Amino acid sequence: MLRILSTLLAGLLAVYGCVPDDYEYGEAPVHFVNVTPRSGESISANTTLTLIFDGVPINLTSSAGKVTVDGRTAKIDGPFTPGPLEILVAWTDETVRLTYMIVEDVIEE
């Protein structure tokens, strides 16, 4: 019985006792939550896209527009060229593909 308890104790120490006290666990990955306006919609050339994340995205880039990040929110500003638009938004943890149809702004006279 003592031999079994010794073996179990040695196993527990090997599994749970190996991580040093100063070990830093990595940050949880940041995931994309939502975008407004939704991907697939028609938008005007000067629309601002607002992306929401569940954490602060690191090294966020966009294949189109100008990107600004404020905490868990990122904004992508146009102007965008009329026609179909595909935007790849990438950050340290993921990449998201957004698609839109850009329509010309109607100017009332």
20 domain-assigned: no
103 domain-assigned: yes
Q: What is the mean pLDDT of residues 4-12?
A: 72
Quick one: what percent of the chain has pLDDT higher than 90? Answer: 68
CA 39 – CA 1 distance, rounded (Å): 64
pLDDT surpasses 90 at 14: no
Range of 58's domain? 30-109
DSSP E strands, the chain: 32-36, 42-44, 48-53, 61-62, 66-70, 73-77, 83-90, 95-103
Task: Give the burial class of 12: count Cβ atoms within 10 A of its Cβ; 0-12 exposed, 13-18 middle, 19 or more buried.
Answer: exposed
Give the count of domains, the chain. Answer: 1
List pLDDT tens digits, range 20-69.
655 566 678 999 999 999 999 999 999 999 999 999 999 999 999 999 99
16 domain-assigned: no
At 10, the amino acid letter reads: A
CB 35 within 8 A of CB 52: yes
5 domain-assigned: no
8 domain-assigned: no
Dihedral of alpha carbons 36, 39, 45, 49, sign: positive
Output the domain CATH number for residue 59. 2.60.40.1220
9 domain-assigned: no
78 domain-assigned: yes
7 domain-assigned: no
CB 31 within 8 A of CB 93: yes
